[in-house]
Chain A
Amino acid sequence: MSASSTPVLAAPNSTTEAERSQPVIAVRDVFKIYQMGTMEVRALRGVDLDVWPSEMLAIMGPSGSGKSTLMNIIGCLDVPTSGFYALDGVDVGGLNDDQLAEIRCHKLGFVFQNFNLLPRTSALANVELPLIYAGTSGRKRHDRAAEVLDLVGLGDRLDHKPNELSGGQQQRVAIARALVNRPALILADEPTGNLDTQTGIEIMELFQRLNQEQGIIIIFVTHDPETAEYCNRIVHIRDGLIEADVATN
């Protein structure tokens, strides 16, 4: 397995020009076609997308536009029907389930709308989960999980179970879990969808801070324009095609 455990982006200023010349995500002419009975559903119809280090972007589009399909492919949960996708220089195309799992483990972090924390399990244990599958054990695992929880501002809540935490705190745990294996990028699917406005703002500010301080690429899949406001790039997708790709401030 070629997945390296070294952080792709430990800090923004550590990226050299050579690395900068290569996109972390390279999607070329990707098609995704589902067979629904006799019907053929063309969810993606030739998508091209490059994402460069330190970017924070939103993929926006109405329901059924194909944005979830694109996110699944970028997140290595699914493979394209045709086309090319390389993540951090690794061609994902020919990989089997276990190799994809390995990539997800080391290079990707997921944040979901409904947090998806393990119930009856402490914040620390939830954050340790990706470390278990990465093969980190014992003291090292505990320390790393605690360190990341501290980073998201939950250093004093290590032993709290999800039902003892507020929605915002639960999402912070989920973000810590996404961060813990030092991924190249974090994929966040409507991360503020289940939160009140104020908490949503706090979470977006946390993402922004992580992006700026750690240089982690963050990709939001959302149809919330307020989320998009925090991004420096917005990709609009419609009917399986990229409709617009605009840089913002």
Chain B
Amino acid sequence: MKFIESIRIAMRALAANKLRSVLTMLGIIIGVGAVIALMSIGRGVEKFVTDRFTSLGSNLLFVVPGQLEAGHPGTGGRINPLTLEDMEVLGDRSQNPDVRAVSAEFFTDATISREGKDMQATVSAVTPSFSNVRNWPTVIGDFFTQEDFDERARVVTLGQDVYTELFEPDEHPVGQTVRINNMAFQVIGVMEERGGGPGGNEDASVFIPLTTAQDRLFKRKTVSGGYQVSVIYVSVMDSDRIQETQDEIAATLRARRGISYLDDDDFSIISQNDIISVFGEILGALTLFLGAIAGISLLVGGIGIMNIMLVSVTERTREIGLRKAVGAKRRDVLLQFLIEAVTLAVFGGIIGIILGIIGAKAVSNISDSFSAVVGVDAVLISLFFSMAVGLFFGIYPAVRASRLNPIDALRYE
């Protein structure tokens, strides 16, 4: 009952000095606002990236040439490329029973043109299993078949961005011709929209058979005459056996590429979890950084609150004396000033949270690729810390107020 009374008294005191109260809260407002905004944006980006990787197709492993991890000298500059044969060996179920399906991709940039329009796009030279392994269907027409692949057919499936760039909205693309580096290809389909991916925006790509690309379009075969690939996709049978599959295909590849047991792999196998966890580490570092900013601004805000509370105690010495004369105990005065400090801090925190959410939403409105995610935990933690700051920095001024001698306080000018 007295507690509620104290809150009411504190609110009245703060309302009496609105400008000063708001200025005092500013440190907390800025700190909490920045943290909420950046955390929400960070969460949004994390969710966006995680969704992207998950949509790549479940249980996907990426095999790329060279050693990606730091601290492995000697592989730089002499990367032994992966080939189509490597992919075929990995897809051999008798050797790798945990592998469901495999695909491979080779990237090159090229000019795509049609009826006077042209654009730069990535040419993805892939195997027919690509659409299936990457869990990426077409929205119009089809992906090319094994026959197209074997015949080195000049057929192409367009990414969304290429389609919208080269075709009118009501134009039916299938059967039309586009030119890739001036070679005519027949359009057989359009891929679903994907957004950004591991290799940038994959919607600005066109998909053609790997055989067509390397026999007809670009001379990029290896010295031994194999088809060179940039990445091999391995789809795993059972998501509980990702690690086992990884070990399995590593062993297969080492054997095939004749790597001595003393030497390191000359390729890297990356799982979606690896990528997500690397991203998680980056985000963790970012969160730590934000935490430091928050800590500093809360500290500064807290000092501001303590400063203004000390001023307030001095200014209101007579009031304190009077309250004591009419029966306020130490605890009553202590509580009154403590609640004022906490109210300042918590109000600052609430305003900061609101501004932070508005800021995060504003940023995610500008960027259409992700939307900010406001975490309930972030809001609660911010509130908790605001309150803690108010308590911590309010206790000293409040104790000083409560210890004032009523006779001296009443006489104070």
A, B assembled together: yes
- A residues in contact (CB < 8 Å) with B: 72, 75, 77-78, 97-98, 101-102, 104-106, 110, 112, 116, 118, 120-121, 129-130, 132-135, 137, 177, 181
CB distance B410 to A112 under 8 Å? yes
In the assembled complex, which residues on chain A have CB atoms less than 8 Å from the CB atom of B328?
101, 133
Q: Which 8 A-B pairs have the closest CB atoms?
A: A105-B327, A133-B327, A130-B326, A98-B329, A101-B329, A116-B322, A77-B407, A133-B328
Assembly CA distance A171 to B177 (angstroms) = 99
Expressed in whole angstroms, the Cα–Cα distance for A88 and B290 within the complex equals 63
Q: Smallest CB–CB gap between B323 and chain A, Å?
A: 7
Q: With A77-B407, A135-B1, A135-B2 known to touch, is A118 a contact of B327 (CB < 8 Å)? A: no
Convert B303-339 into 0s and 1s, putting 1 for each residue whose CB lies closer than 8 angstroms to a CB of A. 0000000000000001101111111111110000000
Complex CA–CA separation, A104 to B322 (angstroms): 11
A202 to B406: give the CA distance in the assembly, Å.
29
Instruction: Among A120, A134, A181, find the residue whose CB has the most chain B CB atoms closer than 10 A.
Output: A120
Q: How far is the CA of A105 from the CA of B322 in the complex (A)?
A: 11
- Residues of chain A with a CB closer than 8 A to B324's CB: 101, 104
B16 within 8 Å of A by Cβ? Answer: yes
Q: Are B407 and A133 in contact (CB under 8 A)?
A: no
Give min CB distance, B175 to chain A, whole Å: 83
B322 touching A118 by the CB < 8 A rule? yes
Contact B1 A133, beta carbon cutoff 8 Å: no
Q: Given A77-B406, A112-B410, A118-B319 in contact, is the A133-B16 Cβ separation under 8 Å?
A: no
> What residues on B are CB-neighbors of A132 within 8 Å?
2, 5
CA distance A77 to B406 in the complex (A): 7
Which residues of B are found within 8 Å of A78, using beta-carbon distances? 407
B386-413 vs A, Cβ < 8 Å mask (1 yes, 0 no):
0000000000000000000011001000
Q: Whole-angstrom distance from the CB of A168 to the nearest CB of chain B?
A: 20
Given contacts A72-B407, A78-B407, A132-B5, contact A97 B327 (CB under 8 A): no
Q: List 7 A-B contacts (CB under 8 A).
A: A77-B325, A102-B327, A112-B410, A116-B321, A118-B319, A118-B322, A129-B322
Neighbouring B residues of A110 by C-beta, 8 Å: 325-326
Contact status of A98 and B331, CB under 8 A, knowing A104-B326, A137-B1? yes
The main secondary structure of chain B at its interface with chain A is: helix
Contact B325 A120 (CB under 8 A): no
Q: Taking the complex as formed, is B12 at the interface, i.e. its CB lies under 8 A from any CB of chain A?
A: yes
Q: How far is the CB of B326 from chain A (nearest CB, A)?
A: 4
Contacts of B329 in A (CB 8 A): 97-98, 101-102, 133
* CA distance in complex: A22, B406 (Å): 29
In the assembled complex, which residues on chain A have CB atoms less than 8 Å from the CB atom of B2? 132, 135
B residues adjacent to A (C-beta < 8 A): 1-2, 5, 12, 16, 318-319, 321-332, 406-407, 410
| Cα distance A97–B404 in the bound complex, in angstroms | 11
Q: A105 to B329: give the CA distance in the assembly, Å.
A: 10
The reply to whether A116 and B410 contact each other, CB–CB distance below 8 Å, is yes
- Select A177's contact among B319, B321, B326, beta carbons within 8 Å: B326
CA distance A178 to B362 in the complex (A): 57
**How far is it, in angstroms, between the C-alpha of A77 and the C-alpha of B407 when the chains are bound?**
7
Chain A residues closer than 8 Å to B321, beta-carbon distance: 116
Alpha-carbon distance between A137 and B6 when the two chains are bound, in angstroms: 12
Q: How far is the CA of A116 from the CA of B413 in the complex (A)?
A: 12
| A32–chain B nearest beta-carbon distance, Å | 12
Minimal Cβ-Cβ distance residue in A for B6: A132
4 A-B pairs besides A77-B406, A101-B330 with CB distance below 8 A are A101-B328, A129-B322, A134-B327, A177-B326
Contact B5 A137 (CB under 8 A): yes
Which residues of B are found within 8 Å of A181, using beta-carbon distances? 327
In angstroms, how far is the closest chain B Cβ from the Cβ of A80?
14
Find A104's partner among B5, B318, B325, B331 (CB 8 Å cutoff). Answer: B325
Q: How far is the CB of B251 from chain A (nearest CB, A)?
A: 79
Q: Is the CB of B318 within 8 A of A116?
A: yes
Within 8 Å CB of A101, what residues of B? 324, 327-330
Complex CA–CA separation, A134 to B329 (angstroms): 10
The minimal Cβ–Cβ distance linking A111 to chain B, given in whole angstroms, is 11
In the assembled complex, the Cα of A18 lies from the Cα of B5 at a distance in Å of 40
Instruction: Report the separation of the CA atoms of residues A134 and B5 in the bound assembly, to the nearest whole angstrom.
Output: 12
Residue among B1, B318, B322, B410 facing the most chain A CB atoms (10 A cut-off):
B322
Contact residues in A for B318 (Cβ distance below 8 Å): 116
**Chain A residues, Cβ within 8 Å of B332:** 133
Closest to A97 in B: B330
Question: Cβ of A118: which chain B residues have Cβ within 8 Å of it?
Answer: 319, 322
A116 CB contacts on chain B under 8 angstroms: 318, 321-322, 410
Q: List residues of chain A with CB within 8 A of the CB of B1.
A: 135, 137
Which residues from chain B contact A72 at a C-beta distance below 8 Å? 407
Query: How far does the alpha carbon of A118 sit from the alpha carbon of B5 in the complex, in Å?
Result: 16
Measured between alpha carbons, how far is A67 from B319 in the docked complex, in Å? 23
Determine the distance from Cα of A77 to Cα of B1 in the docked complex, in whole angstroms.
26
A130 to B323, CA, bound (A): 8
**B410 cross-chain contacts in A, Cβ below 8 A:** 112, 116
Name the CB-closest residue of A to B402: A97
Bound complex: CA of A116 vs CA of B329, how far in Å? Answer: 18
Q: What residues on B are CB-neighbors of A137 within 8 Å?
A: 1, 5
**A77-B407, A116-B322, A120-B16 known; A98+B327 contact, CB < 8 A:** no
A169 to B2, CA, bound (A): 29
Chain B residues with CB under 8 A of A135: 1-2
Could you tell me the distance between the alpha carbons of A101 and B12 in the complex, rounded to whole angstroms? 24
Q: How far is the CA of A206 from the CA of B250 in the complex (A)?
A: 102
Contact A106 B16 (CB under 8 A): no
Query: If the complex has contacts A116-B318, A120-B16, are A129 and B323 also in contact, measured as CB distance less than 8 A?
Result: yes
In contact, A133 and B406 (Cβ under 8 angstroms): no
Complex Cα–Cα for A97 and B239 (A): 71
